[in-house]
């Protein structure tokens, strides 16, 4: 098989380019591996751990870029490659002549082709030891450090902690709803699957978006509300407010019994419709507690009872705060709020309060603070507010004159306060000048 000069030169160039690419890539491996190892060690010193993750495949990009860059930098053009190959084959310029288009006599041509047969033996060989030793050592070091077990106390990054906690909370809420039968199995499966996907992302080291978690929670709430609405529909309806808002909760006999005890303690049973109040009294035991079994057991009855109790308690929650223990007050307030009502002590929207935003803050519109500059001043009875400033008094006083001695009198310069010149102290350098002036005056008789 004959090898043409052009093919031989091309093969030579390719070999050099491939080796250069490999060298560049290995150089990048050395740098990247060393960096990863150092980072890992530094994190370990800080008690953290960076476990290997699929995202680390991104590190291949600098490796490939390094190879590409070096290959471009060390690429040989055909003339240079021909020069090297010519020398390696011992052709003494014959290959260069052939490449430059010189017509070779058959004898020279045969000589050229005979030497070109030795091409595989003269192609450049990578210096594997120089190429691989350091990068491989660095790679092994990085792999070894990364695969070491996590140091004790190595905590997950804070971002992942928060998201994991949120996922756990959603999962628990999901389980509770499903256990109470408030959630269809299909919806539960769907949400459970999404929770599972997000949990897998977290375990893989990825940080899920808060948006996903919020969507999941909203989906959960929506499903819950839909389930509640559907249940109400099946029960034959309910109050208008329940159908519209869907906010009323289904009370349980036990909860109502407990709340009824608080209502009785507050003396509000009489505020309820008479039949319901009578029913409650019938269920009341001697110790004042209420038997849950004696209360209505159907949902509609319970709801009617809860509404009546809430209406009775909601009128005077603020007043009850002084009379009832906190636990009973909390039960009543929960009942009132559970029925979509608000107690008279709650500062909600329209009651001078704020119920949205970062925190609950009551608005205080009065200015009854005492002693402030802006404190209101009451006018005497019968005095109208003047339309313009009017004098309220007139008196004359003499100005108080308290002359003060000049504390700096006699010091140099007298501080610019107008002290007598003869009192001024002269600096030594000035004293000589003054003395010369007066001496001269005396000597010439000018002063006389």
Partner 1 sequence: MTTMLTAAQVERGRQLLARVQDGCNAVLLGQRDLVDMCVMALCVRGHLLLEGLPGLGKTELVKAIGRLLGLAFRRVQFTPDLLPGDITGGPILQDRGGNRQFVFQPGPLFANIVLADEINRASPKTQSALLEAMQERSVTVLGETHRLPLPFFVLATQNPIELEGTYPLPEAQLDRFLFKVEVPGVDADVMTQILTSRRRGEPPALEKALTAAELDELFSLVDAVFLPQAVANYIARVCAATHPHRADSPPEVRKAVRFGASPRAAIAIGEAARAAALLAGRPNVDFDDVQRTARPALAHRLVLQHTAVVSGATPAGIVRAVLDAVPAVRKPLPEVVS
Residue pointed to by tokens 């370990």: 44
Asked if residues 312 and 272 have their Cβ atoms less than 8 Å apart, the reply is yes
Minimum distance from CB of 61 to partner 1 (Å)? 22
Q: Which is nearer to partner 1, 104 or 265 (CB)?
A: 104
Q: Which is nearer to partner 1, 79 or 425 (CB)?
A: 79
Q: Which is nearer to partner 1, 76 or 306 (CB)?
A: 76
Closest CA to 125 of 16, 26, 227: 16
d(CA 53, CA 205): 7
Minimum distance from CB of 116 to partner 1 (Å)? 16
Minimum distance from CB of 81 to partner 1 (Å)? 9
H helices of 292-344, in order, are: 299-314, 317-320, 326-338
Angle of the 253-265 helix axis to the 326-338 helix axis, nearest 10: 120
Q: Which is nearer to partner 1, 97 or 228 (CB)?
A: 97
Task: Give the DSSP per-residue string, 177-242.
Answer: HHHTT-S-HHHHHHHHHHHHHHHHHHHTT----HHHHHHHHHHHHHHHHHHHHHHHHHTT---HHH
Residue pointed to by tokens 């009294």: 281
Minimum distance from CB of 75 to partner 1 (Å)? 9
Minimum distance from CB of 20 to partner 1 (Å)? 5
Closest CA to 182 of 173, 195, 190, 171: 173
Asked if residues 340 and 241 have their Cβ atoms less than 8 Å apart, the reply is yes
Q: Which is nearer to partner 1, 105 or 270 (CB)?
A: 105
* Phi, psi for residue 285 in degrees, rounded to 5: -85, 180
Which residues bind to partner 1, rule: CB under 8 A? 15-16, 19-20, 22-23, 74, 76-77, 79-80, 82-84, 87, 92-94, 96-97, 100-105, 107-108, 124-127, 130-131
Minimum distance from CB of 40 to partner 1 (Å)? 29
Q: Which is nearer to partner 1, 71 or 316 (CB)?
A: 71
């Amino acid at each position: 098989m004959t090898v043409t000069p052009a093919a031989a030169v091309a093969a030579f160039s390719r070999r050099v380019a491939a080796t250069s690419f490999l060298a560049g890539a290995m150089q990048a491996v050395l740098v990247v591996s060393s960096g990863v190892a150092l980072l890992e060690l530094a994190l370990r010193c800080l008690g953290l751990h960076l476990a290997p993750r699929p995202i680390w495949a991104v590190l291949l990009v600098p490796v490939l870029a390094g190879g590409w860059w070096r290959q471009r930098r060390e690429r040989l053009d055909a003339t240079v490659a021909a020069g090297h190959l010519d020398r390696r084959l011992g052709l003494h310029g014959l290959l260069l002549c052939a490449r430059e288009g010189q017509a070779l006599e058959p004898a020279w041509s045969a000589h050229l082709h005979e030497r070109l047969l030795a091409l595989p033996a003269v192609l450049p060989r990578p210096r594997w030891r120089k190429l691989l030793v350091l990068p491989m050592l660095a790679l092994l070091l990085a792999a070894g450090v990364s695969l070491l077990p996590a140091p004790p106390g190595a905590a997950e990054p804070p971002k992942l902690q928060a998201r994991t906690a949120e996922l756990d909370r959603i999962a628990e809420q999901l389980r509770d709803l499903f256990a109470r039968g408030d959630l269809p199995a299909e919806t539960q499966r769907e949400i459970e699957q999404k929770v599972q996907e997000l949990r897998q992302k977290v375990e893989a080291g990825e940080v899920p978006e808060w948006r996903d978690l919020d969507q999941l929670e909203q989906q959960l709430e929506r499903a819950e509300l839909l389930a509640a609405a559907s249940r109400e529909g099946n029960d034959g309806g309910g109050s208008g407010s329940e159908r519209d808002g869907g906010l009323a909760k289904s009370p349980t006999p036990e909860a109502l019994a407990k709340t009824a005890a608080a209502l009785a303690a507050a003396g509000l049973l009489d505020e309820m419709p008479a039949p319901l109040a009578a029913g409650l009294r019938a269920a009341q035991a001697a110790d004042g507690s209420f038997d849950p079994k004696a209360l209505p057991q159907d949902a509609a009855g319970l709801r009617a009872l809860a509404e009546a109790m809430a209406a009775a308690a909601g009128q005077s929650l603020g007043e009850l705060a002084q009379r009832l223990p906190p636990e009973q007050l909390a039960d009543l307030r929960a009942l009132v709020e559970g029925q979509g009502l608000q107690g008279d002590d709650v500062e909600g929207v329209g009651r001078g309060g704020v119920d949205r935003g970062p925190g609950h803050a009551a608005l205080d519109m009065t200015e009854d603070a005492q002693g402030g500059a802006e404190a209101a001043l009451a006018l005497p009875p019968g005095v109208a507010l003047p339309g313009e400033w009017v004098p309220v008094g007139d008196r004359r006083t003499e100005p108080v004159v308290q002359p003060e001695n000049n504390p700096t009198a006699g010091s140099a310069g007298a501080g610019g306060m107008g002290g007598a010149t003869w009192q001024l102290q002269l600096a030594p350098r000035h004293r000589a000048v003054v003395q010369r002036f007066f001496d001269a005056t005396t000597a010439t008789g000018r002063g006389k």
